[in-house]
Amino acid sequence: MRLDRFLAEAGNGTRSEIKKSVRAGDVAVNGVIERDPGRHVDPQTDAVTVRGRAVSLELLRYFLINKPAGVVTATQDKNAGTVLDLIPAELRRGLYPVGRLDKDTEGLLLLTNDGPLGHGLLSPRRHVEKTYAAVLRVPLTVEAQARLAEGVDIGDETPTLPASVQATEDGCLLTIREGRYHQVKRMMLAVGNEVLHLRRVSMGGLVLDSDLVSGGYRPLTEEEVRGLYEAAGMPFPDT
């Protein structure tokens, strides 16, 4: 649908007011200012903001799931079950996973139809914190902890950003502020260790409930959604 029609249907003024506002640079699509009111947007997947505020045609829904191993972080897959299959069919429409966990990684994953929030949480500029509980092949040395805390070379153009590390009985709790491909596993390999099991326990202040069964889900509270907006550096839509 056209951007100006989308904004009008979502209650952002008349078509002519909207055109003016788009041309003035008030509107961003997926984080990039868009000055063409006729540009096509997909209300399900594109993140549209007006002066930084999220715009949506739908009632926004937010679910936390405890992803089990063996399930793919995608909306569809030919060969395996997806994280969407964990949500009842009548609640599933328009939801997508915010970020990606490997097939063998478990734990906290946010599913929502709030495109702008998802976009903000994943933006490399925001450095939203994600904490993982990693079971490791060998105990983490003090030297390895110091290197992980400082940032390590995992074969990318730049080293990883400083991380927080806390040794645990069988591995560590690692908090990172990026979301590179296989990042935790590659960080551990870079310090001569290996991840045997990985579980995400928090993201942007949202914490996985200890009593949420593997494969279970629950809706977020408004306070949690507000917390995620804050973590993403975005104003909460109705304020």
Summarize as ranges the residues that interact with ligand URA (CB under 6 A). Answer: 101-102, 105, 182-185, 198
The smaller minimum CB distance to ligand URA, of residues 116 and 204, is found at: 204
Distance spanning both ends of the chain, measured CA to CA: 27
The smaller minimum CB distance to ligand URA, of residues 36 and 102, is found at: 102
The smaller minimum CB distance to ligand URA, of residues 2 and 182, is found at: 182
Which tokens in the block code for residue 43?
């209300």
For residue 88, count other CB atoms closer than 10 A to its CB.
8
Q: Which of 87, 125, 122, 80 is nearest to 102 (CA)?
A: 80
Which tokens in the block code for residue 6?
């989308």
The smaller minimum CB distance to ligand URA, of residues 52 and 162, is found at: 162
In angstroms, give the least distance from the CB of 184 to ligand URA: 3
Helical axes 222-231 vs 115-122, angle rounded to 10°: 50
- Note the helical H segments in 151-208: 183-190
State the Cα–Cα distance between residues 171 and 159, nearest whole angstrom: 22
Phi-psi label, residue 45: left if phi above 0, alpha if psi -120 to 50, beta otherwise = alpha
Rounded to whole angstroms, the maximal C-alpha distance in the chain is: 64
In angstroms, give the least distance from the CB of 200 to ligand URA: 7
In angstroms, give the least distance from the CB of 49 to ligand URA: 27
77 belongs to the catalytic site: no
One of 102, 104, 156, 211 is an active-site residue; which one? 102
The smaller minimum CB distance to ligand URA, of residues 119 and 185, is found at: 185
**DSSP 8-class letter at 82:** B
| Single-letter amino acid code for the residue at 84 | L
In angstroms, give the least distance from the CB of 12 to ligand URA: 37
State the Cα–Cα distance between residues 151 and 163, nearest whole angstrom: 7
In angstroms, give the least distance from the CB of 203 to ligand URA: 11
Tokens 């936390």 sit on residue: 64
Catalytically active residues, by annotation: 102
